[in-house]
Homo-oligomer: A and B are copies of this chain.
Amino acid sequence: MDTWLLSRMQELRDLQGLIGLATWDQETYLPAKAGPARAHQLATLQGLHHERLVDPRLGEALAKAASQDSLSEDERAMVRVLSREREREVRVPSALVKALAEAQSSALHAWREARKAKSFAVFQPGLQRLVELRREQADAYGHGGERYDALLEGYEPGMRVERLTPVLTALREHLIPMVEKLAAAHRTVPRLFDGRRYDRDAQWAFTVRLLKDMGFDLEAGRQDLSIHPFTGGTHPLDVRLTTHLDESNPLSAITSTIHEAGHGLYEQGFAPEHYRTPLAASPSMGLHESQSRLWENIVGRSRPFWEHYFPVLRAAFPDALHGVDVDGFHRAVNEVRPSLIRVEADEVTYNLHIALRYELELLLVRDELPLSELPTAWNARMEKYLGVTPPDDARGVLQDIHWAWGELGYFPTYALGNLYAASLYRAAERALPDLSGHLRRGELLPLRDWLRANVHSQGFRLPAEELVRGVTGRGLTDADFLAYLREKYSALYGVSL
């Protein structure tokens, strides 16, 4: 490949890494008064990244490279991935970029006010403006009649409404009766978090042990504290996780560390030959999320995992966990209960929260639902899918920040993450016949190595579904996820699902 083109690819990756650094720092160590200064610095970096990406010389070099026969397969993939990203960026007029940034900023402010006032009406004009601009942006990107596709493409390249809707609808229809059965089942779980104190240092030590056991390389990454846990960093050898310590509930830190480490292992697992190129990236948010959810839920809430780790946990918190056994603990971390808040939802009800959001934002983007009716539509679906009614908009339609950021098309990637996770895990079980034995012995590396070889090291060579198909033998499906839930929760609840 042309030296100039390669150096531009590297420069773009370096800028993205620096945006990652400035963002990570903002959430971890930035002094309180430096917020506005950091916003300027980030805007400058993002402006430079945009300028370099839309540079016509880059477009010419990419076009020229695409027509060359001498490129390797990886080089062709690099050109393809960057061309796609560039074309999307080029198509949005800078006036629209500016209008979106302003609309996001004021919608974010309105959203915060609306949550305080518990009133969607306060947020409605800001959201209206954002939805209109995002429709405009979808048209600028281009689509085949379904605007939502153009937005989805920004998070889940290659995915389409036509493909996604039947899967999420069928999933929803399977989940509703399953949730009903589980909610009706009588079961006792120990109350672990009723005022007991869990020492912060011991929580931290436990999370670091998990990171090490999972094979997260602490010489090529780190863990820090932040209010909201996230995975960031600057490079596959500089992957930064954060967690959050809650003195009354160590599961908060434990599950968030395992979740973020799932993302982090993905980032650390990119192939060295892809570093500083467009291929050192996940092909989609959904596939990235599959890694965090596979570790957090399928591994980190499993019986074999806790057979190994519960004794360790009890040794770390001998007073708080006095009298609790692995059975009770495992039941407690797998309690299914229809609830109002997505981020607190268990793995059975979770996708119903997503189905609801996906359906609503599809209606909004298609202009088939007046915004004034959004809270009513939200509440109606909550009742229908989960049997619960939000007492106010703050615990209903206003609960997530995503729409205030103008993110339409993002929510379904969470469900895709769950579905891909189950399918990949099933494939891992076939490849590693003693997988649950490994977990029972605290051996997490065989699974990490299998994921690294089959998923992480592929980077962005293939679109997400195609990559999954290559590994599992089939593409997007709810079958593995539903089978996983049925098997696990039938046993846990003693009901037939």
* Residues of chain A at the chain B interface (Cβ within 8 Å): 10-11, 14-15, 17-18, 21-22, 25, 29-34, 36-38, 40-41, 44-45, 47-48, 217-222, 224, 234-235, 237-239, 275-276
Contact = CB atoms under 8 A, between A and B. Distances in A.
Given A11-B47, A31-B218, A38-B234, 5 more contacts: A10-B44, A11-B44, A17-B37, A33-B237, A37-B275
Contact of A14 (B21, B25, B41, B218): B41
Contacts of A38: 234-235, 238
Contact of A37 (B32, B224, B234): B234
A205 B237 CA distance: 33
A374 to B, nearest CB: 39
18 contacts: A10-B40, A10-B44, A11-B44, A17-B41, A18-B44, A18-B45, A21-B25, A29-B29, A29-B222, A29-B224, A31-B219, A31-B220, A31-B239, A32-B220, A34-B238, A37-B276, A38-B234, A38-B238
Contact of A238 (B14, B15, B37, B217): B37
- DSSP class of A's interface residues: helix, strand, loop or mixed? helix
Nearest to A29: B222
A267 to B, nearest CB: 12
B14 A220 contact: no
Contact of A18 (B22, B29, B34, B36): B22
A34 B221 CA distance: 8
Contacts of A18: 18, 22, 41, 44-45
A48 B222 CA distance: 28
Contacts of A45: 14, 18
A17 B18 CA distance: 12
Given A22-B21, A34-B237, A37-B235, A14 B221 contact: no
Contacts of A36: 237
B31 A14 contact: no
Contact of A31 (B25, B237, B276): B237
A29 B41 CA distance: 20
A173 B363 CA distance: 85
A41 B11 CA distance: 8
Nearest to A52: B48
B276 A34 contact: no
Nearest to A35: B237
A166 B45 CA distance: 47
A235 B15 CA distance: 19
Given A41-B14, A44-B15, A48-B48, A234 B276 contact: no
